Structure 1
Amino acid sequence: MPPGRTSSSLRRGTAHTGRASAYPASVSAVNDLSRVPQDFRAALAHLRRARYRDGIELTEIPAPAHLAPYAVAVRAEVRRPAGLPAGPALVADPAAALAPTGPAGSAGAEDELATGRFVLLHDPAEPPAWGGAFRVVTWARAAVEREIGCDDMAGEIVWTWLLEALERHRAGYSREGGTASRVLAEGFGVLGDQVEGADVELRASWTPDGPDVEPHLAAWADTVCTFAGLPPYPPGVTVLHPRR
């Protein structure tokens, strides 16, 4: 086990992966493994063996039903440690396909330092755009100080975090792509005394070299923790301090 990691493992949810309803011969859940391709079964086993650092919680959630014949999805949450003052809730982004459906001001949102989604897609037909039978699609968001959100380098920094994490975990990949965005929050009226802040988001996708996706999930989990400003940090990593 790499230094600084814990024995925490992926927590299963009540709904699991399945063949998307947009495709024929649908499978409602992975409980029917006899109808799931061997490569995807292997990928599921690798995901559920993943180990990740302390401070983040990963849980299986229902996967998108329109992106590929087979898919599995994981939610990540990094909560505010006890004693750290709470800041404003995350800014809502209704256009985020992988983002939570609840409003930003819902219960518990003020305790979130970072949140995200990790989706593994599988299509035995190997779509040309993927360059393989698997594709990882991710989204992550963190609340940061407004000064950080206004920094023109913020997007490049978070993109670099992901690539460096993949390299550290020796997660082979290709055809990587992503977009980073910054959302500034400013209160008015009855919310005028709300602390100004910003959200930084990263949407990224890449093609893993094969079904061994355990290092890919671990690398992404590390990236989300870095988003949240959790120590310890690998040498040379720039920290975005969470909004307080």
Structure 2
Amino acid sequence: MKTSPFERVDDTVASFRWRPELDVERIPAPQRIAPSSLAIEASVVTTTGSEVGSGRLIVLHDPDGNPAWDGTFRFVSFCRADVDFDMVNDPLLSEVGWTWLTEALNDAGADYHDASGTVTAVSSRSFGQLATEADRAEVEIRASWTPVFSTDDEVASHIAAWQALLCTTAGLPPLPDGIIPLSGRLDH
């Protein structure tokens, strides 16, 4: 029996080999945006157990196509990570954050179009009775793109690109060429 394009994407997400630093799980997907959707959430965790970043990926599918996407699929991403307090004041951080997305897609060989999004850098400093709390700074990358794929490997390239974006945002170095993470399947 043939599987639908959405089922193939769902299977690819479920069998994807995630980096060991990622704790990935399915979450409820939005129901009103598209006829079919899936969502995952990931935490980037250090070997000491500290969370250094998090993200969500939502895959939307409308078999009839959506003029706003100029396609039948849309990938919607959110990545967030703490950064050095001084880094958040760098005027180039937003441009660099957007480059992380486009480089992740290009490096993974993920064909796409109509990418859009925002990069937000925020900092907070506590005062008064909260003055003992540490300064905080974080970067958020919200992005979406229309993927172009026809094979399972091409689908996997978009998942790999999202993983790379999340890891880069959280400050993890890329895996060396030829290294494959040894993590299990994502349960449905």
Under TM normalisation by the shorter chain, which class is it?
Answer: 0.7 to 0.9
Q: Which has the higher helix share?
A: 2
Equivalent residue in structure 2 for 1:216, among 158, 166, 178? 158
- 2:20 maps to 54
Give the CA deviation at 1:53.
Answer: 2.4
Give the CA deviation at 1:43.
Answer: 1.1
Secondary structure (helix, strand or coil) at the match of 2:134 reads coil
Equivalent residue in structure 1 for 2:51, among 112, 115, 129? 112
2:67 aligned partner, one-letter code:
P
- 1:63 maps to 29
1:152 aligned partner, one-letter code:
P
Secondary structure (helix, strand or coil) at the match of 2:121 reads strand
Q: Which has the higher strand share?
A: 2
TM-score with structure 1 setting the length: 0.66
1:180 aligns with 2:119: yes
- 1:192 maps to 131
Q: 1:218 to 1:232 in 2, by over 3 A?
A: closer
1:164 aligns with 2:103: yes
- 1:230 maps to 172
Equivalent residue in structure 1 for 2:79, among 134, 140, 153? 140
Equivalent residue in structure 1 for 2:41, among 71, 75, 78? 75
Secondary structure (helix, strand or coil) at the match of 1:124 reads strand
- Quick one: distance in 2 between partners of 1:53 and 1:146? 27
- Quick one: distance in 1 between partners of 2:47 and 2:4? 41
1:8-34 CA-partner distances (Å, limit 9, x unpaired):
xxxxxxxxxxxxxxxxxxxxxxxxxx9
Give the CA deviation at 1:233.
Answer: 6.5
Question: Relative CO higher for 1 or 2, CA cutoff 8 Å, sep ≥ 6?
Answer: 2
TM-score with structure 2 setting the length: 0.84
Contact 1:49 1:214 in 2 (8 A): no
- Quick one: distance in 1 between partners of 2:61 and 2:102? 22
**Structure 1 residue ranges (4+ consecutive) displaced by more than 3 angstroms after TM superposition:** none
Contact 1:76 1:117 in 2 (8 A): yes
Contact 1:76 1:221 in 2 (8 A): no
Give the CA deviation at 1:223.
Answer: 1.3
2:160 aligned partner, one-letter code:
A
Secondary structure (helix, strand or coil) at the match of 1:217 reads helix
Q: Please say which of residues 144-153 and 53-62 is displaced more in the overlay.
A: 53-62
Structure 2 portions without partners, runs of 5+: 177-188
Contact 2:110 2:147 in 1 (8 A): yes
Q: CA RMSD in A?
A: 2.1
2:157 aligned partner, one-letter code:
P
| Residue identity (%) | 41
Structure 1 portions without partners, runs of 5+: 1-33, 84-110, 235-244
